[in-house]
Structure 1
Amino acid sequence: MSNAMGTPLVSVITPVYNGADYLAECVESVLAQSYQNWRYCIVNNCSKDDSLEIARSYAARDPRISVVDNDEFLNQTDNLNRAMSMTDPEAVWTKMIFADDWLFPNCLERMVEAGEARASIGIVSSYRLDDRSVNCDGLPFPSRFVPGRDIARASLVDNLYVAGSPSTLLYRSDVVRARQPFYPSGAWHEDTEIFLEILKEHDFGFVHEVLSFTRRENESLTTALRQYDPEHRLDKLIVTMKFGPVFLDEVEFRACRNREMKAYYDYLGRRCLYSTADGFWEHQHAGLERAGLGLQRGRFIRHWLAAFVRQLASPGHVLARLKNRLPDNTAPSSTAREKAGEH
């Protein structure tokens, strides 16, 4: 649906759980858009703070804003899917924005313009302000249109990063409606997987401007996973095993698989020199199973031994790591640290 001026309707969606600290800033960024043909649905996931009251106060002031209050609490993926199912039936484009993120004033205008350039475009991205740094900047200028399979291939082969988070992207609404539930169940990084799924059949649009802000201090699922996979090595291995055969030829896939396997076991060897968090190994086994793999114990031992030898060659680093595990009254003195070469 387009309005009298021919601008397509955008369905803006915000899922929120206990987001009272930042929700108003998020909503205000939508209200401030230069592009005004939108309808905005805020989906409250049984928040225990003032999120629902804040959302309803905005809905009372602007008829384009509606509020959905979940009957029961949903996990993160289910709540994201619940939110995406609220895509307006008349919308041409769908824009999710998390409650603790916000949009720059020209975000919708510039992204819709890029998406409308070609009917084959199913997803649009841009640069983003990721807390204090700008990323999603791997495409050469002007690159406003790229075949979807080329983006997917570069993501796997060259580690091109242009997907950001759901707050970074604009989806064609027909693509959203055709995939319900939208996000894959059981995926640890569901936004990465749906990004590549869409690129199987649709092309990619890009805006070389910073159009969204992602806040890092309030990440729930990402933060929970960080203690198990802080370098995203397991995640990259899973994605490579799932999508490599789809987008790469046999030689490319083998090279990517070998690279990611080496990187994963190198990380595992380094990580296991010291104690691991509760649930660490359960997470590794579950992730490897999701990738269609099992733990290669011999390979793990070789990488662990290599990491151990490297640590022996750096006694200052070893002492620093041990110090962090000792009670304060047993920590090495400054003199001991100086003798060990620690600065």
Structure 2
Amino acid sequence: MPIEARPTYRQRLEPNGYQASGDRTMASSAESTFPTLPRLLVNISPPEIAKRRSAAWSGFRGETVQIMQHTPFEYGFRAPWHLLIAAEVAERYDGESFVEGLPRSTLRDFTHKLTFVPAGHDFRGWQRPRALTHTTYFYIDPHGPLADSALRFEEIEFKPRLFFYDRDLWQTALKLKSVIENADTVHRQYAEALGIVLTHELVRINGDTGLHEPASRGGLAAWQQKRVAAYVEEHVADDIPLATLAELAQLSPYHFSRSFKRSFGLPPHRYHATRRIERAKQLLAIRERSVTAIALEVGFSDTSTFTSAFHRLTGETPSYYRRRLD
């Protein structure tokens, strides 16, 4: 991808189409790279220079992308999902970024900057990297089950933002990035709780604070506690979505999480993890069952993950705990 061709590519960034000063060849190339049809993930070209890792939850997907070569590349995205971009390392010798509704930017260093692309908006650009870019993308379904109904999230007309910084939103993004990188060991409910926080942060920075509902001062009602606790016991080995528990209590995921912690003293994901370990303790008393079999029975994928979780909550390994029962 010759650098000399870049002025022509800038012309391809026109928001009304890809026609570039009558250059039909360049227009056709851009259309093949960035089609107008919605894409679920950010398109990077050439794709072989990007190392990508993703994880998905209810109405939410996160993806880490690391550029592996100092090669000029292009990117584009347009979909019915919101896109939040957190750039941990982003320096370029040359390049341009465009979010529909905003002026183009040729900022050279946007390390530790955030970008928000509302659903349906065009996002594209190109760059000749000075440093190997490391970025995290968050794809948020405006109608997803994690969005608090009190926010009327799907009704908000979000404003596009390019290369900004907000401390609280940045910290939430970093936590979610860690979840993506450790998706096999992080509890699903924790990831979903962070997703809920992210939607609230997006509403806050958008300026729609009037849509917030006052926080509930109490915990769950007795019938809610009983129903949720029974469900967790019955499905202790399963991966229980936060939205499922919230539906049982007839609350939004956001308010359910807050009320649950007031009632049980723990967030939902930690309570579930604790109940798993308590079930494992009961099974460890049965000598005929191996530690591996018990790990699988209480919902862990392997013995190593089970041992780590057991030690984190009890301070000892399953084998040591079993020996103490003698």
**Alignment TM-score, normalising by the size of structure 1:** 0.28
* More RCO (CA 8 Å, sep 6+): 1
